Amino acid sequence: MGIFVYLRALNMNSPLIYNVYSTLRQIIDPALRPIRRILPIMGIDFSPLVLILILEFFSSMNHMIMIKCMS
């Protein structure tokens, strides 16, 4: 969402956009903070990508466990 604000595709002066943005930040930032502490500081924030990969890994592991339990 930050790239859209940077490119001015979203108007942060709109109360609706601001509320959605701040709510998403409150939900996602606690999960991103530990990843940001580990990753080196670069020009691009890769922490959302790392979080998606971690969540995908646990999702696939959960799926494999559920398949084995049903067998």
Phi-psi region of 64 (alpha: psi -120 to 50; beta: other; left: phi over 0): alpha
Query: Do 36 and 47 contact (CB within 8 A), yes or no?
Result: yes
The domain segmentation of the chain, as residue ranges, is: 2-70
Q: How many residues does the chain have?
A: 71
13 alpha carbon, distance to own chain's centre: 23
Tens digits of per-residue pLDDT, 46-66? 999 999 999 999 999 999 998
Calpha distance 32→10 (Å, rounded): 22
Tens digits of per-residue pLDDT, 14-41? 788 788 888 999 999 999 999 999 988 7
